[in-house]
């Protein structure tokens, strides 16, 4: 492969990255009883092939931010000693408040 072809290939790859449609999804992970933020929660995406990939970790204040594409159908939030929380993503839906649950907590929606 010549250098010219290689440069064209890289250029096409970069254009596909820039033009690929994606939405920004952000949120905050909190404890259901104390309402304190949970630092270090894993944010995973589940794509059409049902492959879970970690894309973010919540920061000190429990906030996270990820880019999602049309292929992403579900995100999963994991935190040690808490139940995993799965969220179906549909275009145009507001996910509202999401609270991770331990035993004895109830969902607040």
pLDDT in tens, 10-21: 444 444 444 455
Contact 51, 35 (CB under 8 A): no
pLDDT of residue 3: 40
pLDDT value at 100 more than 70 = no
Instruction: Give Cα separations from 62 to 42, 46, 70 (angstroms).
Output: 11, 21, 25
CATH number given to 22-100: 2.60.40.10
Higher pLDDT, 33 or 96: 33
Provide the pLDDT confidence category of residue 9 given band limits of 50, 70 and 90. very low
Chain centroid to Cα 107, Å, comes to 20
Contact 64, 27 (CB under 8 A): yes
pLDDT of residue 14: 43
Q: Residues for the chain: how many in total?
A: 109
Q: Residues 39-88: pLDDT tens digits?
A: 998 988 876 666 667 788 999 988 888 887 777 778 888 888 888 888 87
pLDDT value at 7 more than 80 = no
CA pair distance 89, 46, nearest whole angstrom: 10
Paired tokens of 57: 């970790």
pLDDT average, residue stretch 18-30: 69
């Amino acid at each position: 492969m010549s250098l010219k072809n290689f440069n064209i290939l890289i250029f096409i790859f970069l254009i596909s990255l820039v033009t690929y449609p994606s939405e920004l999804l952000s949120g905050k992970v909190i404890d259901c009883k104390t309402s304190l933020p949970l630092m270090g929660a894993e944010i995973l995406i589940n794509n059409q092939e049902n492959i879970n990939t970690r894309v973010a970790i919540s920061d000190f204040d429990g906030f996270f931010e990820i880019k999602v594409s049309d292929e992403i159908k579900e995100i999963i939030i994991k935190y040690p000693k808490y139940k995993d929380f799965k969220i179906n993503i549909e275009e145009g839906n507001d996910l509202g408040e999401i609270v991770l649950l331990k035993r004895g907590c109830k969902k607040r929606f």
